[in-house]
């Protein structure tokens, strides 16, 4: 039980990724820069799923931090 609580506390401290070395993450309706390749941020999706009861965290993930640039094309 202590391990689960410690893991959840550590996850709360990590937070969502808002940017990468290539630029800012975008939401579901964001415009992708054609110079970069984007992938869904698994970390952000997991955090949004875990905190789905708050409604705010999943909304932030979906509308502003869903896809992050991972490299150039």
Domain boundaries, the chain: 2-72
pTM over 0.85: no
Percent above pLDDT 70 for the chain:
85
Average pLDDT value for residue range 39-60: 87
> Under a CB-based contact definition with an 8 Å cutoff, are residues 41 and 30 in contact?
no
Residue 9 has pLDDT above 70, yes or no: no
Of 26, 10, 31, the residue nearest 60 (C-alpha): 26
pLDDT of residue 8: 66
Question: At 19, is the pLDDT very low, low, confident or very high (cuts 50, 70, 90)?
Answer: confident
Give yes or no for a contact between 10 and 43, defined as CB atoms under 8 angstroms apart. no
């Amino acid at each position: 039980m202590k391990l689960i609580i410690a893991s959840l506390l550590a996850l709360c401290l990590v937070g969502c990724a808002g940017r990468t070395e290539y630029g800012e993450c975008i939401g579901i309706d964001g415009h992708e820069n054609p110079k970069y390749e984007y992938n869904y941020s698994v970390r952000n999706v997991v955090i949004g799923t875990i905190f789905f009861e708050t409604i705010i965290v999943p909304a932030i993930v979906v509308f502003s931090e869903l896809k992050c640039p991972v490299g150039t094309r």
